[in-house]
Structure 1
Amino acid sequence: MKKPFFAFLLIVVTAIAIPAAGLWLTDGQKTAPKKEEKEPTVEVIRSDTQKTESVPLEEYVAGVVAAEMPASFEKEALKAQAVAARTFILTETLKGQDVTDTVDDQVFKDEDDQKKMWGADFKKNKEKIEEAADETEGEVLVYDGQPITAAFFSSGNGQTENAEEYWQSAAPYLISVVSPWDESAPNFEQELVLTKQEVEEKLDVSLPSSGEVGTVVDKTTGGRIGSILIDGQSFTGREIREALGLPSADFNMTVKGSDVIVETKGYGHGVGMSQYGANGMAKEGKNYKDITAHYYPGAEIADVQSFLK
């Protein structure tokens, strides 16, 4: 998922179309009982065709969970991801944003995509993920009565990040919290080898012939690079991460011959819910509400339908 305040879709429900905050709501026949109301739908721009498809909300949520979190994760972690995905789409819908099926928003995979991804495990994985969506049906996260920006990422460095220290935009529920479960993630620590020339060109700097690159000026609350001086130029950790395509803004760079060795901790921007952290909490017996309460402090569970009226 790409951006701080991600893009989410258009939600539709049937009969008399009533525009409200970017949504079109319908109730089926006026005389039809509530149970016959059609499910809200999400408008997704599919990256392979560049065409917009209408997907039932809960099917969309399951497709996001399938794409964004390993099906092998604990059920409670998958349920936390389902609530985050549903909240994400609601928030963007209320902003009137278009939504794609890519990391620019939330990755979404339909049934055909899932069959290709899972092969022989398709049926088992699909059932597990659909259960996670069904068991949290309609649940979204709110703060002060408004849907939150439910940011999430793969794994952290042992702490999450304050939103304003990565995106320069604060949110009271996107604050740094401990996330010790990240250490069990396979991508917790990584080493990348880049050429010295590549780094110099991408950062427009001259690197030393050997030794550590740059001087760290300060670190963020979450332990990532806040700012670093390289060849007299000041960079944020995010700028270095994005320019060099690093997994994380928690890094250390060393020149060795014609190469630059980059050591990183964590994978992702570090804001919001750590997916491996969620799985670690679930393994310890925590439920999805415990998980979302930890990673989105102060946020509460609410019903998506209350925002569709």
Structure 2
Amino acid sequence: MKKLLILFMATVVLLITGIPVWVVIRSMDKGELAGEDGTQPQVRVLDAKSGRVMKLPVEEYLVGVVAAEMPAVFETEALKAQAIAARTYVVKRMYSFGAKPVDRHPDAEICTDPTHCQAWESSEELKSKWGKLKYYVYINKIKEAVRDTRGVVITYNNKLIDPVYHSSCAGKGTENSEDVWTNMVPYLRSVDCYSEHKQTKFVYQKKFSIQNLAAKLRDLLSVTVVVPSQQRNMIEIINISPKGRLQEASLLGQKITGAQLRTILGLSSTLLEWDIDGDNIMFTSTGKGHAVGMCQYGANGMALQGKSHEEIIYHYYTGVKLKKIEY
């Protein structure tokens, strides 16, 4: 009776959205991804919210990652690209594939904190986020994307890559790894992202007082910060990337990287403008994320243009190869 009620509710949503009913019926008949063939390795996942360590089959874990990291309304090919990137990320960190424990969570191979590992959401969280009716449509769509790419990972010179990704580069293109962080990574090269040029939703503004900025700098750098007497000396650009993102600046007389500034002020990106008004400074940031690797909104733009998930991966990760691992 309960299954019939669920199927009825899903059917109503599908009639509204125009998605054929047989899609959900077929997906339900396939069962859950967890342990379908009895050979899947399990990954130990630290739930950052509860502090609990969970053991999940890899492919089941990936469903929660894709659902948390990428909007479910995105094109299927974009979701497949996200599934491959997320799978590569977790497999590279699994002890059974040769990884070593990390200090931050030695009892788990990965955590659900997106600032450290990858985001992940449970079925209960997804139902709350999407609503129970849409949940059955979206979760089956994501499960299909994970199933269709089962075992596929990204390699460079026969080694798993670090497939970093971000939400939006604002159509400006992605950055070379060394222009944002320290190391030059051969597969993390700057590429164009014209498919995202119509995205305008990621424009954020934040206002800070001079005293607030000084306090944040003191906490970050552990130095004495002197507020300059002239406003024009409050912040000065030292370096910007070829794509126009802030790499290094002098803030209240202290050198700070664009990445550090973004972190301590909680800005959405380092594609910045600012306006000084008296004792306050207003920052405007465009795009969302570090702008290295795969741009998720750009990936969806490519999918809308008819590009495959393979084409998306090969565009954003230079010189890589897709390979399938067996488990």
Identify whether the pair has TM-score above 0.5, normalized to the shorter chain.
Answer: yes
Distance in 2 between residues matched to 1:207 and 1:287, nearest whole Å: 53
**Which secondary structure does the structure 1 equivalent of 2:139 belong to?**
helix
**In proportion to residue count, which structure has more helix?**
2
**Which secondary structure does the structure 1 equivalent of 2:150 belong to?**
coil
Superposed CA offset, 1:165-184 (max 9, x none): 22212211011111123333
Structure 1 consecutive aligned stretches of length 4 or more whose deviation exceeds 4 Å: 207-213
The number of equivalent residue pairs is 272
Distance in 2 between residues matched to 1:180 and 1:90, nearest whole Å: 31
- Once the two structures are superposed, the pairs formed by residues 1-309 of structure 1 within 5 Å of their partners are 36-93=37-94, 94-97=98-101, 98-103=109-114, 104-119=116-131, 120-157=133-170, 158-203=172-217, 204-206=225-227, 210=231, 213-305=234-326
Change in 2 beyond 3 A, CA 1:76/1:36: closer
Amino acid of the structure 2 residue aligned with 1:159: G
Superposed CA offset, 1:1-30 (max 9, x none): xxxxxxxxxxxxxxxxxxxxxxxxxxxxxx
Superposed CA offset, 1:79-137 (max 9, x none): 10000000000112242243111212111112222212211310000011111111111
Distance in 1 between residues matched to 2:46 and 2:139, nearest whole Å: 22
Amino acid of the structure 1 residue aligned with 2:160: P
Distance in 2 between residues matched to 1:181 and 1:207, nearest whole Å: 43
- Give structure 1 stretches of 5+ with no counterpart: 1-34
Distance in 2 between residues matched to 1:185 and 1:54, nearest whole Å: 38
Change in 2 beyond 3 A, CA 1:258/1:36: closer
C-alpha contact 1:218 1:228 (8 A) present in aligned 2: yes
C-alpha contact 1:224 1:249 (8 A) present in aligned 2: yes
Distance in 1 between residues matched to 2:249 and 2:204, nearest whole Å: 20
| Alignment match, 2:10 | none
What TM-score do you get using the length of structure 2 for normalisation?
Answer: 0.78
- Give structure 2 stretches of 5+ with no counterpart: 1-35, 102-108, 218-224
Change in 2 beyond 3 A, CA 1:55/1:192: same
Superposed CA offset, 1:212-259 (max 9, x none): 842212212342112212343222111211121111112122211332
C-alpha contact 1:91 1:147 (8 A) present in aligned 2: yes
What TM-score do you get using the length of structure 1 for normalisation?
Answer: 0.82
RMSD over aligned CA atoms reads 2.0
**Which secondary structure does the structure 2 equivalent of 1:184 belong to?**
coil
Change in 2 beyond 3 A, CA 1:299/1:208: farther
**In proportion to residue count, which structure has more strand?**
1
Distance in 2 between residues matched to 1:205 and 1:138, nearest whole Å: 55
Superposition deviation, residue 145 in structure 1: 0.5
Distance in 1 between residues matched to 2:202 and 2:302, nearest whole Å: 16
| Alignment match, 1:22 | none
C-alpha contact 1:161 1:270 (8 A) present in aligned 2: yes
C-alpha contact 2:233 2:252 (8 A) present in aligned 1: no
